[in-house]
């Protein structure tokens, strides 16, 4: 996924550009449709919540690159004739490089894999900690409420009685409030449709 906005609101005039589940280009397709690649249903009311890259990541990246320059300088000096710190400098460089690779892979796993929660016509699709997408139909969601913690939301599934903690995709308490409001609206519309039908 390329751009991580906190929330992508879609409407008939601004349909989804990419399928959040498989990345298929949806431009030019109707606002109420299914992804031709994976079959994900979406409509003009579909909304997607995605994590925002925190600024600390960019600050950390600048710090890492600055430190890397210093490590390379130290390594070059230690490899000159007469230097006694050669092995120590090589070890320090390897540790710093290993830390950088670990952080890159970690951030890549978290952000490039594409964490999201989508409120769609058939239910809630999400990808949180696992690389696979999961799904809850509207009939499986009994109630939803925000937790005391600002950026957490709990969805209670009625069929199994289990609970799903949604975290990592909301950046502010307002995002959680908006998410709860949208889910409750969809649940209410579904229940009214069942009563009328």
Distances (CA, A) of 80 to 73, 74, 87, 89: 11, 10, 12, 12
Q: For the residues of 37-104, what is the DSSP string, one character each? A: TT--EE-TT-EEE-PPPPHHHHHHHHHHHHHHHHHHHHHHHHTSTT-S-HHHHHHHHHHHHHHHHHHH
pLDDT: which is higher, 83 or 76: 76
State the residue for tokens 């990419």.
Answer: 18
Provide the pLDDT confidence category of residue 191 given band limits of 50, 70 and 90: confident
Integer Cα distance of 15 and 77 in angstroms: 57
Q: Is the pLDDT at 21 greater than 80, yes or no?
A: yes
Provide the pLDDT confidence category of residue 53 given band limits of 50, 70 and 90: low
Q: The tokens of 67 are what?
A: 């430190």
Q: What is the pLDDT of residue 11?
A: 33
State CA 120 to chain mean position distance. 17
Q: What is the pLDDT of residue 119?
A: 93
3-state secondary structure of 158: coil
**Rounded mean pLDDT, 37-47:** 92
Distances (CA, A) of 160 to 118, 127, 136, 139, 142: 21, 20, 12, 12, 10
Integer Cα distance of 138 and 22 in angstroms: 22
Q: Is the pLDDT at 4 greater than 60, yes or no?
A: no
**Residue pair 4/53 in contact by the 8 Å Cβ criterion:** yes
pLDDT in tens, 100-128: 778 777 666 555 557 889 999 999 999 88
Q: What is the pLDDT of residue 56?
A: 56
Q: Which of 33-42, 80-89, 155-164 has the highest mean pLDDT?
A: 33-42
Sign of the Cα torsion 133, 176, 16, 189 reads positive
**Rounded mean pLDDT, 54-75:** 70
Q: Treating both helix axes as pointing N-terminal to C-terminal, what angle do 55-78 and 86-107 enclose, rounded to 10 degrees?
A: 160
């Amino acid at each position: 996924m390329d751009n991580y906005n906190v929330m992508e609101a879609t409407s008939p005039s601004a349909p989804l550009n990419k399928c959040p589940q498989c990345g298929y280009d949806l431009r030019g397709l109707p606002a109420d449709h299914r992804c031709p690649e994976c079959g994900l249903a979406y409509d003009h009311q579909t909304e997607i919540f995605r994590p925002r890259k925190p600024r600390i990541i960019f600050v950390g990246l600048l710090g890492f690159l600055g430190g890397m320059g210093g490590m390379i300088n130290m390594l070059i000096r230690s490899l000159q004739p007469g230097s006694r710190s050669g092995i120590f400098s090589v070890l320090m460089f390897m540790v710093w490089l290993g830390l950088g690779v670990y952080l890159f892979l970690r951030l890549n796993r978290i952000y490039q894999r594409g964490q999201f929660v989508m409120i769609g016509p058939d239910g809630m699709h999400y990808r949180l900690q696992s690389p696979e997408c999961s799904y809850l139909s509207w009939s499986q969601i009994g109630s939803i409420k925000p937790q005391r913690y600002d950026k957490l939301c709990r969805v209670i599934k009625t069929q199994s009685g289990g609970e799903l903690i949604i975290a990592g995709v909301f950046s502010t308490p307002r995002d959680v409030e908006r998410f709860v409001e949208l889910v409750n609206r969809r649940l209410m519309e579904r229940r009214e449709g069942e009563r009328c039908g």
